[in-house]
Amino acid sequence: MAAKFSLGVIGVGNMGAALVRGIVRGGALGPAQITVSDVDTSRAAALARETGVRVSADNARLAGESEFVVMAVKPNTVQAVMEEISGSLSSQQSLVSIAAGVTLSSLSGWLAQGVSPALMRAMPNTPALVGAGAIAVAAGAGVTEERLERLKQLLGAVGEVVVVEEGMMDAVTGLSGSGPAFVFVMIEALADGGVAAGLPRAVALKLAAQTVFGAGKLVVESGQHPGALKDMVASPGGTTIAGLAELEKAGFRGVVLSAVKAAANRSRELSRG
């Protein structure tokens, strides 16, 4: 990225702070190119001490001085912050919201008349906190490939990035947004099974978490269909196929599918207010 590129992050709770840490750690931008603000000034100050980024107490000034502005505040405060910074924005800037359920149309409606920054949305998930997020981005009308590519580079500091149409964001929320919670339940259940089979709790949990981590990594890096990888483990008459038969009997696939659909449907409901 160009040396003059500047980033402003409004809101440095878990996700905003994770993004800043990842960008600085990966060298995508230098600390001096990043300015942060937060309603909790002590939190912003602590992040600045940790990473070397700058702190602003004035959201409007931060927005006016940043080529990219990331809104990492709670959904119910987005409108107030948008109205606060709108007059400081221009068509030369990009505004990105990571607030769940806040549409590009809503963002546009909260801008002052005649103000037209490039608008984009992003949906990260909690594994972004450890640099392993799954992040979907959607661009508003007229956003250039260059600006979209810059956003992908920034978010790539904390995970894998895909570009989708905005209409797919509710499905993204149901899958990768809510999905970590479903996987956490799976890890807990695997660990419980290990304990039931005689393992100490700490050993069972460590093995369960690493098994899920390794299986996901194998799917990503091998490029093979998960069904093919499953078949590699499930030998005829063996232990794995016996366990898989129990999952099928309990409707495991259908339950997971229904959980993702339920979360996506709830996201649509929340988006409509």
> Which pLDDT does position 272 carry in this prediction?
80
> Which pLDDT does position 81 carry in this prediction?
96
> Which pLDDT does position 208 carry in this prediction?
98
* Alpha-helix runs per DSSP H in the chain: 14-26, 41-51, 59-64, 78-85, 104-109, 145-155, 169-172, 179-196, 201-222, 226-233, 239-249, 252-271
Coil, strand or helix at 103: coil
Percent of the chain with pLDDT over 70: 98
Cβ atoms < 10 Å from Cβ of 246: 9
CA pair distance 213, 221, nearest whole angstrom: 12
> Which pLDDT does position 2 carry in this prediction?
37
| Amino acid identity at 46 | A
Q: What is the DSSP letter of 65?
A: T
Domains, the chain, with CATH or none = 7-164 (3.40.50.720), 177-271 (1.10.3730.10)
CA pair distance 116, 202, nearest whole angstrom: 54
Work out the mean pLDDT of the chain and round it to a whole number: 94
List of the chain residues with pLDDT < 50: 1-3
CA pair distance 112, 84, nearest whole angstrom: 10
> Which pLDDT does position 116 carry in this prediction?
87
